[in-house]
Amino acid sequence: MKEDILKLSGLDIAKSIKDSKISKEEVYSSFRERIDNINPRLKSFVEVYSQALTGEGDSPLSGVPIAIKDNICIKGKRITCASRILDSHISVYDATVIKKLKEAGLSIVGTTNMDEFAFGSSTENSCYGPTHNPWDLERVPGGSSGGSAAAVAARLVPFALGSDTGGSIRQPASLCGVVGFKPTYGRVSRYGLVAFGSSLDQICPITTNFVDCANLLNIICGFDERDSTSSRKEVPDFTEFLKKDINGLRIGLPEEYFAKGLDKEVENALKETINIFKRQGAKTIKISLPHTEYAVATYYIIAPSEASSNLERFDGIKYGMRKDASSLIELYKKTRAAGFGDEAKRRILIGTYSLSSGYYEAYYMRASKVRTLIKKDFEDAFKRVDVILTPTSPVPAFKIGEKTKDPLSMYLSDVYTIPVNLAGICAVSFPCGFTKNNLPIGAQLIGKAFDEGTLINAGFSFQEVTDYHKKVPVVTA
Ligand code: GLN
Looking at residue 2, what is its pLDDT?
60
Residues 6+ apart with CB under 8 A from 164: 145, 170, 180, 182, 201, 202, 204, 417, 421
55: pLDDT strictly greater than 90: no
- Measured between alpha carbons, how far is 325 from 314 in angstroms, rounded to an integer? 16
pLDDT in tens, 88-147: 899 999 999 999 999 999 999 999 999 999 999 999 999 999 999 999 999 999 999 999
User: Strand 250-254 vs strand 203-207: parallel, antiparallel, or unpaired?
Assistant: unpaired
Angle ∠(59,61,63) on CA atoms, nearest 5: 100
pLDDT in tens, 306-343: 999 999 999 999 999 999 999 999 999 999 999 999 99
Q: Rounded to the nearest whole angstrom, what is the distance from the C-alpha of residue 292 to the centroid of ligand 1?
A: 17
Q: Is 168 a catalytic residue?
A: yes
357: pLDDT strictly greater than 90: no
Q: Is 448 a catalytic residue?
A: no
Mean pLDDT value of segment 261-286 = 97
- Kindly tell me the burial class for residue 110, based on how many C-beta atoms sit within 10 Å of its own C-beta (0-12, 13-18, 19 or more): buried
Mean pLDDT value of segment 256-267 = 93
Mean pLDDT value of segment 340-354 = 97
Q: Enter the pTM of the model.
A: 0.98
Looking at residue 260, what is its pLDDT?
82
- Measured between alpha carbons, how far is 167 from 121 in angstroms, rounded to an integer? 8
- Measured between alpha carbons, how far is 469 from 4 in angstroms, rounded to an integer? 16
Q: For residue 421, give the ligand 1 atom closest to its CA.
A: 8
Q: How many CA atoms lie within 13 A of 106 on its CB side?
A: 28
Looking at residue 477, what is its pLDDT?
63
Q: Measuring CA to CA, which residue among 158, 201, 130, 177 is closest to residue 403?
A: 130
Q: Where are the beta strands (DSSP E) in 90-193?
A: 107-112, 159-163, 179-182
456: pLDDT strictly greater than 80: yes
Q: For residue 418, give the ligand 1 atom closest to its CA.
A: 5
CB–CB of 116/143 below 8 Å? Answer: no
Q: Rounded to the nearest whole angstrom, what is the distance from the C-alpha of residue 193 to the centroid of ligand 1?
A: 15
381 alpha carbon, distance to own chain's centre? 25
Looking at residue 408, what is its pLDDT?
86
How many residues would you count in the chain? 477
Per the prediction, the chain carries an average pLDDT of: 96
- Measured between alpha carbons, how far is 191 from 189 in angstroms, rounded to an integer? 5
Mean pLDDT value of segment 173-193 = 98
